[in-house]
Amino acid sequence: MDYHTMRTFADSWGLLAMLVFFISASAFVFRPGSRDASAEAALIPLKDDCDER
């Protein structure tokens, strides 16, 4: 593969693949019912893990 072929692919199908990935990730994050899971995940760094000592 030469530079021109890779550049053409990145400009067309690569951009489409990144767009599909972005839309899928956004839909996963903003799906209905994900608020509870997100709130629980946000509190993980604040939990006191006394069992690890």
Quick one: tokens of 41?
Answer: 């995940």
| Eight-state DSSP code of residue 10 | I
Q: How far apart are the first and last CA of the chain?
A: 55
Angstrom distance (rounded) from CA 24 to CA 26: 5
Prediction pTM value: 0.60
Give residue-wise pLDDT tens across range 30-53.
Answer: 888 888 888 898 899 888 876 655
Q: What is the pLDDT of residue 50?
A: 66
Give residue-wise pLDDT tens across range 1-25.
Answer: 899 998 988 888 988 999 999 999 9
Angstrom distance (rounded) from CA 25 to CA 44: 21
* CA 11, chain centre distance (Å): 21
